[in-house]
Amino acid sequence: YRIAVFASGSGSNFQAIVDCVQSKELDVSIELLVCDRPDALVVGRAIQANVPVFTFRPKEYASREAYEALILKELSDRKVDLIVMAGYMRIITNVLVEPFYGRMINIHPSLLPSFPGTKAITQAYEYGVKLTGVTVHFVDGGLDSGPIVAQRSIEIGEGESEAALTQRIHAIEHGLLPQVIDWLRAGRVSLEGRRVTVKEV
């Protein structure tokens, strides 16, 4: 089962997947890292883990569709089964959504549909919600809007700092994302409209 990971930043979620593959908790092959920032930390992590890297600079292309067509070619050449968005800070167009709908997931640090977008943890914290969490969802053309595969909730503690909350959310992400990848690998996930079912084993 062949996956590609898309990431833009530090890549702690990418690392969590690599670690699970190396410890044989997760039986997948990471075929490619796709990164829109050639100087991002995640690129070094991929090199370290011997994962091939495809980087590009969005500004150098006329449109999102233009660079996504190149990405699609890379994914097809490598026969990728699943795209995992792990901190990839870009909207996806139909060039990728169409061929990969139902085979492309994203991790998001809130309980969607609350707090979509890039500042979810801060927004939840400042809103004062008592409960937040992590969502893994299928990717459609919208902003963090596709069908939900899994969610984990946590309570925000009395007097908890935003930094402490952020750390706890990341720790949950690093457990949940490899777990959902494994469900998909095992063929346990089915999608009907917006409803996702995960079969018991």
**Known binding-site residue numbers:** 11-13, 64, 89-92, 106
| Spatial separation of the C-alpha atoms in residues 157 and 162, rounded to whole Å | 10
* Interacting span for ligand GRF (CB under 6 A) from 20-28, 60-68, 94-102, 106-114: 106-114
| Number of residues near ligand GRF (by CB under 6 A) | 13
For residue 199, what are the β-bridge partners? none
Per-residue contact flags (x/-) with ligand GRF for residues 64 to 93, judged by CB under 6 A: ----------------------xx------
Nearest in space to 40 (alpha carbons), one of 76, 5, 75, 72: 5
Q: Is 108 a catalytic residue?
A: yes
Q: How far is the CB of 72 from ligand GRF (least distance, A)?
A: 22
DSSP 188: -
Q: How far is the CB of 133 from ligand GRF (least distance, A)?
A: 11
If the CB atoms of residues 109 and 196 are measured against ligand GRF, the closer one turns out to be: 109
Asked, as a colleague might, if the bond just before 113 is cis with ω within 30 of 0, I would say yes
- With beta carbons less than 8 A apart as the criterion, state whether 112 and 65 touch: no
Residue nearest to ligand GRF (CB): 87
Q: Answer yes or no whether residue 146 interacts with ligand GRF by CB under 6 A.
A: no
Torsion sign across C-alpha atoms 123, 125, 129, 131: positive
Q: Answer yes or no whether residue 137 interacts with ligand GRF by CB under 6 A.
A: no
Pairing outcome for strands 195-198 and 189-192: antiparallel
Q: How far is the CB of 192 from ligand GRF (least distance, A)?
A: 26
Tell me the residue type at 125.
Answer: Y
Q: How far is the CB of 23 from ligand GRF (least distance, A)?
A: 18
| Spatial separation of the C-alpha atoms in residues 34 and 71, rounded to whole Å | 8
Q: Answer yes or no whether residue 180 interacts with ligand GRF by CB under 6 A.
A: no
Residues found in the chain? 201
Q: For binding to ligand GRF (CB under 6 A), which residues are involved?
A: 7, 9-14, 86-87, 107-109, 173
User: Which residues does the annotation mark as catalytic?
Assistant: 108
